[in-house]
Structure 1
C-alpha cells in the first residue's frame, strides 16, 4: 500500500519553525494499531490521517474524516495538525471549496482560507481556578521556584494551566526545562494530560503579543509540543477574561516558536488563525 504523506510546519510563515505535523491522505481506513505504528514511525507530536467522505477525491470534496495520533496514543483534539491538514487540501490538492469540514472526535471542525492564513473554527474551553496547594509537587516540577499568579484546570482537554506572576520575564518562561519524568511522577490523579505554562505578554511592543505560553505533554508521549492549537482553546478563554479582549495575538515560546491569532466569537466558539509551510512531500509504503 502506498500512502501520500506530507510534513507541514504549522503556525509559522517560514520553514523549520512552528509545529511540524505529518499528514497522510487515506484512500481506505486502516486498523487503529497501524495508524499508531505510522505515528510512532513519524515521531512528531502529531500525525494526522485524512479520509474522504462521499467524494471522489481530495480536490472536490468538502467533508473529510480526520484523526490525530501522537507517537503513543490517539488524541481527541489537535490544532496544529488540523491546520496542517487543511494546508495540504488547499495548497497541494487545490481543494475547490471555500470551507472544508473535518469530522473528528471533537465534532465538526471548519477551516477556511483568508489571505495567507487558515482560520479554524474550534471549541472554546474555559479553565476553572484551582487551589495551588493541591498541585504543589507538580507545580514545582513544572516551573521550579518561579512565582505563580493563577492555577486553572480544564476538564475538557485534561490540561493544567499555570500562569506565572507578571513580575516574571519572558526569558524565564523560555528557559524552563521541566523533566518529563518529574511531571509524570508528580501527577497521580489521572486527570492530567498536559501542563500549560503562560504569562502576560507585551501588547505595546511589536508585534504586540497579548500572552506567551509553553506546553508540556509527556502523558501523550510528547515532552514539549512546540505550538499547540488545542492548548489555546484553554488559554483564549482565560486571557480573554483577564485582558477583556476578544481578539488576541499569542506566541508560543518553544525553541521553534509559533504565532496564533485568536478571536472569541459571539456563538461561544473560537477562531484560531495561522499560517503553514509544506516542507516535505513523499510516499509511505507499507
Structure 2
C-alpha cells in the first residue's frame, strides 16, 4: 500500500514556524494499530488521517471526509492544527473544488473554509469552569512555580486545565516557564487532566496587538509542549471572551516556534478559529 503523506506547518505563513503536522490521505480505513504505528513513525505532535467516505469521491471533488488525529502515543478527540493542516492539503495541494469541506470526527462535524488567505475552522466552544486552587496546588506549582496565579479553570470536555497568570506577569514570564514533564505527570492526583494551558493577558499598546498569549503542555499525550494548539484555543476563546468582553480576538501561542490564531465567537455557541498553513514536504508512505 502506498499512502500520500504531507508535512504542514500550521498557524503560520512561514516554513519551520507554527505547529507541524503530518497528513495522510487514505482511500479506505486502516486497522487502529496501524494508525498509531504511523503516528509513532512520523513522531510529530499530531498525525492526521483523511479518509474518503464515498468510494466514488476523490480528494479534489469530494466535500465530506472522515478525519482522525493521533499523537505518537494515542488518539485524541480534537486537534486544531492538524485539522488546519488537513484542510491545507485538500485546498492547496489537491485543489479541492468546494468552497467548504466537512470532516466527520470524534468531536462531531467540523466545517472548514477558505477566507482570503486564511483557513477558517468551525470548532466547538469549551468554556472552562473555575476551580478551587487548593485542590490543584501541586500541578499549578509544577507548571508555573512561584508565579502569581489570577484564575484557575478546567474544561471537562477537553480535559484541559487553564492557568491564568496575574496581570503583573508579562509575556516574558510566560516564555520563561520550563515545567518538567515528569513532574507534571506526578502532580496530577485526579487523573482527569490531559493538558495544561498557561495564559496571560496581552499588551494592547504593543504591536501586533494580541489580546492574550498562551503556552500548552501535554505530557499525558506524549507531548511535553505543543507549539500551537487549536483545541486549547477552543477553551481560551471562551475564557478570554468573557474576561475581555470581546467576540473577536487575536491570540499568539508563544512556544519557540510560535503561531498566530484569529478567534471569532459565533451566535450558535461555537468558535471560528482561523490561521495560515504552509505545506513544506510531500512524499509516499509505503506499507
TM-score under structure 2 length normalisation: 0.99
Name the SS of the counterpart of 2:48 in structure 1: strand
- Would you say the 8 A contact 1:111–1:119 is kept in 2? yes
- CA deviation after TM superposition for structure 1 residue 117, in Å: 0.3
Quote the RMSD (CA, aligned, Å): 0.6
Which one is further off, 10-19 or 204-213? Answer: 204-213
List alignment gaps of at least 5 residues for structure 1: none
Residue 204 of structure 1 deviates from its aligned partner by 2.7
Structure 2 partner of 1:183: 184
- Superimposed CA distance per residue, residues 43-91 of structure 1 (whole angstroms, 9 cap, x where no aligned partner): 1000000001224210000000000000000000000000000000000
1:158 aligned partner: 159
Matches within 5 A, 1:139-154: 139-154=140-155
CA distance in 2, matches of 1:56, 1:248: 37
Length, aligned pairs only: 286
CA deviations on 1:121-168 (whole Å, 9 max, x unpaired) are: 000000000011111111110000000000000000000000000000
Alignment check: 8 A CA contact 1:124 1:236 kept: yes
1:111 is matched with 112
1: CA distance between counterparts of 2:11 and 2:17? 8
Counterpart of 1:16? Answer: 16
**Offset at residue 202 of structure 1 (A):** 1.2
Q: Structure 1 runs of 4+ off > 6 angstroms?
A: none
**1:230 is aligned to 2:231:** yes
| Secondary structure in structure 2 of the residue aligned to 1:224 | strand
Question: TM-score, length-normalised on structure 1?
Answer: 0.99
Q: CA deviation at 1:205?
A: 1.9
Mapping of residues 125-274 of structure 1, within 5 Å: 125-274=126-275
In 2: Cα distance, 1:109 partner to 1:244 partner: 26
How far the C-alpha of 1:203 sits from its partner, in A, is: 2.2
